[in-house]
Structure formats: structure tokens, C-alpha cells
């Protein structure tokens, strides 16, 4: 799928023609070739092209995509570059959150954490679907690691809001309503996300968002990717002062 490296520096030559890692039909029958070509080839590409046009005269030229998102979010008062940057990153993360013949129950490490934080995998699955269906309008649903609490949580965000942008501010702001009125911690590490904009599913599911979300969890989500992301997140969580032996 779209392969936007997380360490990518935005350069004047457009990072537009990025090859997909999977064929357009690799996620069928749950996401059709037609939807992938429209979603990846048009909608996501529009965000890439628009961002590059903005960066030609932007103070954010040379920032990594993650840095740009955090800075341009501007503590809840997004600057013009924010929407396109966040949508480019969100979409890349979305494609990487899926694999052919995915879904089902995750491996032991991830499964144990899910069972600890949700009570059971079934509870997690129901919470993910419930959160996706309770989002009014367009946005995203995420499984995140709350770094300070060292626990998983399901959250949804509206429009282009990304947990990356919320990492350094208090996300219990009522207007954001990120966590269903439950105050969130200061650091949210994304593990998976699902695109809830209509262009992501309308051709295949019409207005049946429930079936789209259910098929994602049951047949598409890449638990292998979640395991790698969880390992990376835990590396930061557990990072401490080194023990230097005394001579």
C-alpha cells in the first residue's frame, strides 16, 4: 500500500509517486480493488499534492511529518498545513494496519495486554466497533497505548485529528471529545487505526459502517504490525537511565 516512511523529510520534490507494497486487490473481498484505487490513488494522493504545495512557502519546510503534525496542530488551533499532513500520516498508518488474511485473535503478547485492559478479546472487539459507530461524521477509530498508564484504550477522533497531535497537550478538552468524555493521558501511542471517512467504505458497504468495521477487525487488521508497534512503544516507555558499572 502507500509507503510513506515515518522518518520522511518533506522535500520540494513531491513525495507523490510512492509505490504500494500490496496489489490493489490484495484486501478483497473486504476492501475492493476499486475502493483501494480510489482511496489510495485519488483521495490520499490529493492530500500529498496539497501538502507539497503548502510546503513550498511554509515555515514547516524540512520538518519530519510527525514534527509537522505536532507543531501545526497548534494546541487545538490547527494551522493550514495540519489537515493535509495529518491525513497523509493517518492514511499511511491505516494501510499499514492491514494485511491479507488478517484479523482474528492476536498473538500472545498483544492478546495478554488486551485481556488485561479490556477483560477479553471479545470485549475489545465490541468496544472498537462501538467506538467506531458512535463517531458522528468523518474521522478515525484507534487502538492506542496510554504510555503513562501502560494500558490499551480505544478512542475515536474527528476529521483529521491524530493522536500524534495530542501527545503533548491535555486531550480531555470537551470540544475534542476524544475519549467519550473520559480524560485521556498526555501520551497516546497509536497501534492501529481505521478510516471512517465515507470514501473509505461507501463503494463496498454503502452506509453499512458496522459491517465495514466488523470486517476490518475480523479479517483485515494486522496483528503482526501491532506487535511491532507495541514493541517500539514499550521501548520508549521502559527507557530509563543506563546502569553504568563502577570501575
| 219 annotated ligand-binding residue | no
CA distance 108 to 213: 23
Q: What is the DSSP letter of 231?
A: H
d(CA 138, CA 117): 27
The residues pairing with 157 across neighbouring beta strands, listed in sequence order, are 140
β-pair partners for 143? 154, 192
Q: Answer yes or no: is 91 a known binding residue.
A: yes
Any known ligand binding at 195? yes
Residue 179 in contact with residue 153, Cβ under 8 Å? Answer: yes
Q: Is 218 labelled a binding residue?
A: no
- b/e map 203-231, b = 16+ CB within 10 Å: ebbeeebeebbbbbbebbbbbebbbebbe
Residue ranges of the binding site: 39, 91, 195, 199
Residue ranges of the binding site for Mn(2+): 39, 91, 195, 199
Amino acid at each position: 500500500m502507500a509507503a510513506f516512511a515515518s522518518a520522511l523529510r518533506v522535500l520540494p520534490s513531491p513525495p507523490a509517486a510512492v509505490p504500494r507494497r500490496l496489489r490493489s486487490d490484495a484486501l478483497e473481498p473486504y476492501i475492493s480493488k476499486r475502493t483501494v484505487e480510489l482511496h489510495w490513488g485519488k483521495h490520499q494522493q490529493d492530500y500529498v499534492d496539497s501538502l507539497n504545495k503548502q510546503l513550498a512557502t511554509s515555515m514547516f519546510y524540512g520538518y519530519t511529518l510527525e514534527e509537522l503534525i505536532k507543531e501545526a496542530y497548534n494546541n487545538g488551533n490547527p494551522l493550514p498545513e495540519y489537515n493535509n499532513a495529518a491525513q497523509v500520516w493517518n492514511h499511511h498508518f491505516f494501510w499499514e494496519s492491514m494485511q491479507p488474511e488478517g484479523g482474528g485473535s492476536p498473538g500472545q503478547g498483544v492478546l495478554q495486554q488486551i485481556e488485561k485492559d479490556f477483560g477479553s478479546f471479545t470485549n475489545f472487539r465490541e468496544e472498537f466497533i462501538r467506538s467506531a459507530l458512535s463517531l458522528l461524521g468523518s474521522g478515525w477509530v484507534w487502538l492506542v497505548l496510554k504510555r503513562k498508564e501502560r494500558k490499551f484504550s480505544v478512542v475515536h477522533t474527528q476529521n483529521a485529528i491524530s493522536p500524534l497531535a495530542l501527545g503533548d497537550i491535555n486531550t480531555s478538552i470537551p470540544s475534542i471529545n476524544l475519549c467519550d468524555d473520559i480524560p485521556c493521558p498526555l501520551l497516546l501511542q497509536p497501534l492501529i487505526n481505521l478510516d471512517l471517512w465515507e470514501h473509505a467504505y461507501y463503494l463496498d458497504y454503502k452506509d453499512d459502517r458496522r459491517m465495514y468495521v466488523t470486517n476490518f477487525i475480523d479479517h483485515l487488521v494486522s496483528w503482526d504490525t501491532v506487535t511491532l508497534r507495541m514493541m517500539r512503544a514499550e521501548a520508549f516507555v521502559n527507557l530509563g537511565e543506563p546502569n553504568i558499572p563502577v570501575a
